[in-house]
Amino acid sequence: MNVLSVSSEVYPLIKTGGLADVAGALPIALEALGVRTRTLIPGYPAVKAAVTDPVKCLEFADLLGEKADVLEVRHEGLDLLILDAPAYYERSGGPYLDQTGKDYPDNWKRFAALSLAAARIAAGALPGWRPDMVHAHDWQAAMTPVYMRYAETPEIPSLLTIHNIAFQGQFGANIFSKLALPPHSFGMEGIEYYNDVSFLKGGLQTATALSTVSPSYAEEILTPQFGMGLHGVIGSRAHVLHGIVNGIDADVWNPATDHLIHDNYSAANLKNRALNKKAVAEHFRIDDDDSPLFCVISRLTWQKGIDLMAEAVDEIVSLGGRLVVLGAGDVALEGALLAAASRHHGRVGVAIGYNEPLSHLMQAGCDAIIIPSRFEPCGLTQLYALRYGCIPVVARTGGLADTVIDANHAAIANKSATGVQFSPVTLDGLKQAIRRTVRYYHDPKLWTQMQKLGMKSDVSWEKSAGLYAALYSQLISKGH
Say which residues have a Cβ less than 8 Å from residue 256's Cβ, sequence separation at least 6.
264, 265, 266
C-alpha 160: how far from its chain's center?
A: 15
CB atoms within 10 A of CB 290: 9
Q: How far apart are CA 395 and CA 328, in angstroms?
A: 20
Q: Is the peptide bond before 392 cis (omega within 30 degrees of 0)?
A: no
- What is each CA distance from 466 to 450, 463, 471, in whole angstroms? 27, 5, 9
Instruction: Mark 231-248 as b/e (b = at least 16 C-beta within 10 Å).
Output: bebbeeeeeebbbbbbbb
- Start-to-end CA distance of the chain, whole Å, equals 16
- Give the list of residues 6+ apart from residue 165 with CB closer than 8 angstroms, or none: 200, 212, 221, 226, 227, 228, 230, 377
State the Cα–Cα distance between residues 55 and 452, nearest whole angstrom. Answer: 48
Judged by DSSP in three states, 458 sits in coil
Prior bond of 131 cis (ω within 30°): no
Known binding-site positions for ADP-alpha-D-glucose: 15
Ranges of H-type helices in 17-106: 18-31, 45-50, 86-89
For the chain, the helix, strand and coil percentages under 3-state DSSP, each to the nearest 5: 40, 20, 35
* 3-class secondary-structure state, position 480: coil
Max distance between CA atoms of the chain, in angstroms, equals 68
Report the distance separating Cα 289 and Cα 277, nearest Å: 9
Residues annotated within the binding site are: 15
